Each structure stands twice: as structure tokens, then as C-alpha cells.
Amino acid sequence: MLYRLPKMNDKRILQEYMQEHYDKEETGISASHGLPASEYADWVEKIQRSASVGEEGWGRYLLYLCFENDKLIGLLSIRYELPQNLTEEIGDIGYGVRPSERNKGYATAMLRYALSVCKEKGKDKVLLGCYKDNLPSVAVIKKCGGVLVAENDNYNEGRISQYYEIKL
């Protein structure tokens, strides 16, 4: 897979990516860092700035578009400088795969890549959060060595959140 930051001229492929989710009645776009509610140019600037100098309260992070054969497959958020309180709330890594490309191993490959980036950046472990009932995501995390370390229903209307640690 090819991983890179978004550019100004990616607007159309990202609109198509979001539309595919809406066509499947999925309202949220995982790991998009607010793309649906943003002006596209402002969003690209924010993502590029966050990769280079960071964002207040978040540190530097990488939001990568993930391609296979020139097709946008998914989004990958690697938040390798998050403060501990945010790590414990949202986790260090987020990802989403477009509906038509699921169950082909892409998210597993993306998470493995994110783990290698975090290791390169000097981290020795990461924490990942996901809902207990999100069985595909739980499967992806476990395939990459995730060990359940916490569970709670403090966030989002009683849906149980799980937190998995992966040592690097």
C-alpha cells in the first residue's frame, strides 16, 4: 500500500470516499479528523500543519490516505505525540476502510504500518480504543497483537469502549 498526506487536489477522491459511506448509510467517517464538517482547503492545511509542527493539545500526528493501485482504500491516523489523557480517551491510532474494500486485510496492513511508524518515532507501546461491539476492529487489533487492558462505558451512551495495548 502507499501512504501519504492529503493534498489540495485530493478533494474529489475524498468526496467519493465519503459518499460511498453515506450510500451505505454510514454517517461517520473514521479517522478523518473532521473532514465532513470542514472546508476542504482548511482541512488540508490543518492536516499538513499537524504533520509538521503539530496541533495544540495533540502534538504532531500523521493523517495518511492509504492507496492500493491508485485507489483510495482507507484513512489512517497516527497520533504518536498525544498526551496521556487523550491517549486514554481516543487511543493513539485510528483507521477506516471504505465499505467496498472491507474484509480484504487492508485495515490489518494499515495498523501494522502505523505500528512501525510509532516505533520509528520512539514509542515502545501504543493504546488503541474501539467499541466492544465493533467486531471487525477488535479482530484487526487482536491480529496485530493487541491485549485488552481496560473497558468502560463512560463515553457515548453506554456503548462499551475497550482499550488494547500493543507493545512495539
Ligand X SMILES: CC(C)(COP(=O)(O)OP(=O)(O)OC[C@H]1O[C@@H](n2cnc3c(N)ncnc32)[C@H](O)[C@@H]1OP(=O)(O)O)[C@@H](O)C(=O)NCCC(=O)NCCS
Q: Footprint of ligand X on this chain (CB under 6 A)?
A: 30, 95-97, 102-108, 130, 134-137, 139-140, 143
142-161 core/surface letters (b: 16 or more CB in 10 A; e: else): eebebeeeeeeeeeeeeeeb
Specify the residue, 48 or 108, whose C-beta has the smaller distance to ligand X.
108
- Cα(153)–Cα(162) distance, integer angstroms: 9
Angle in degrees, 0-180, between the axes of helices 135-143 and 106-120, rounded to the nearest 10:
50
Residue with the closest Cβ to ligand X? 107
Specify the residue, 44 or 76, whose C-beta has the smaller distance to ligand X.
76
Q: Nearest approach, Cβ of 91 to ligand X (angstroms)? A: 8
- Cα(43)–Cα(36) distance, integer angstroms: 9
Q: Nearest approach, Cβ of 134 to ligand X (angstroms)? A: 5
Q: Nearest approach, Cβ of 54 to ligand X (angstroms)? A: 23
Q: Nearest approach, Cβ of 130 to ligand X (angstroms)? A: 3
Task: Specify whether the CB–CB gap between 122 and 88 falls below 8 A.
Answer: no
Q: Nearest approach, Cβ of 131 to ligand X (angstroms)? A: 7
Specify the residue, 104 or 159, whose C-beta has the smaller distance to ligand X.
104
**CB within 8 A of 152, min separation 6: which ones?**
160, 161
| Strand ranges for 83-124 from DSSP E | 93-97
